[in-house]
Amino acid sequence: MRNALSVDVEDYFQVGAFETVISRGDWDSIPSRVESNTDRVLDLFAEAGVQATFFTLGWVAERHPALIRRIVDAGHEVASHGWDHKRVFTMSAEEFRADLARARIVLEDAGGRAVSGYRAPSFSIDERTPWAHEVLADEGYAYSSSVAPVAHDHYGWRSAPRFAWRPVRGAALLELPVTTLEFGKRRMAAGGGGFFRLLPYFVSNLAVRRVNHEARPAIFYFHPWEIDPAQPRVANAPMRSNFRHYTNLEAMRPKLLRLLRAHHWGRTDEVAAAEAARLG
């Protein structure tokens, strides 16, 4: 069973957790670490012998086109993470369409490949955005991986399906929700991010094994800044955000390598194609 491995390519200061203390207007004045960190991710994937999908901000691709080229040259997929990490539920349908288009042009120019996948910043497609999948289908995307079918303080669409589904009637567009783990009536987003970094290895390993046991692929992600223990600390950030952002950064690289070697991984577009064939 091939599982989908992905990286959300954004800098350490562009995450939702720091939105209240760092404004988008300040981004260009902060020394960037995303290119060197993403190169370390490329090294990690080469070491593990895996290919993956890099959901990249248009804002990052505009400033680091050579990085996009290196991602493509190493056989990975470049997909869209939107322009500047605005969560989908903060936009109107037309703003969302414009955000998608702006990112796609830059990503396709830099990589020289068509972009067919999208991941919403902070899994921000939910009940508040009934138009979002329609816009993606309309714009010709093959798949989205933008839904967390859980109840969580920052995101979540609890009633959405746990596995691949077609969210727009009559359209080929597939939604590949992030992997979840169920314990009784509780359901957690278990496809990477803080879940993987903050909790013991065996819990994430269990999440992948469980969905594979159900003959479904895991949808897993992490960020380049998560393997960068030397990143500067953001001043005045909320304590809870600080905890979530900085814990276990040192342990991340070996932990990832272990997970990459324990399961079969590939690009999200390949997993989407396999899931589309299964759904018929």
Which residue ranges make up the site for Zn ion (CB under 5 A)?
A: 8, 10, 121
In angstroms, give the least distance from the CB of 197 to Zn ion.
Answer: 14
C-beta of 119 vs 255, nearer to Zn ion: 119
* Other CB atoms within 10 A of residue 81 CB: 28
C-beta of 5 vs 263, nearer to Zn ion: 5
In angstroms, give the least distance from the CB of 1 to Zn ion.
Answer: 26
Return d(Cα 103, Cα 71) in angstroms, integer.
16
Closest CA to 85 of 19, 138, 153: 19
Helix (H) or strand (E) holding 180: strand 180-183
Burial of 97 (0-12, 13-18, 19+ CB in 10 A): middle
C-beta of 216 vs 256, nearer to Zn ion: 256
The tokens of 208 are what?
Answer: 């992948």
In angstroms, give the least distance from the CB of 60 to Zn ion.
Answer: 10
Placement of tokens 């997970």 in the chain: 259
DSSP helix/strand/coil, 184: coil
- Give DSSP secondary structure letters for 118-151: E--GGG--STT-TTHHHHHHHTT-SEE-----S-
C-beta of 86 vs 216, nearer to Zn ion: 86
In angstroms, give the least distance from the CB of 223 to Zn ion.
Answer: 7
C-beta of 10 vs 228, nearer to Zn ion: 10
In angstroms, give the least distance from the CB of 83 to Zn ion.
Answer: 12
Burial of 134 (0-12, 13-18, 19+ CB in 10 A): middle
C-beta of 156 vs 263, nearer to Zn ion: 156
In angstroms, give the least distance from the CB of 119 to Zn ion.
Answer: 8
Using CB atoms, what's the residue nearest to Zn ion? Answer: 8
- Residue type at 257 in one-letter notation: L
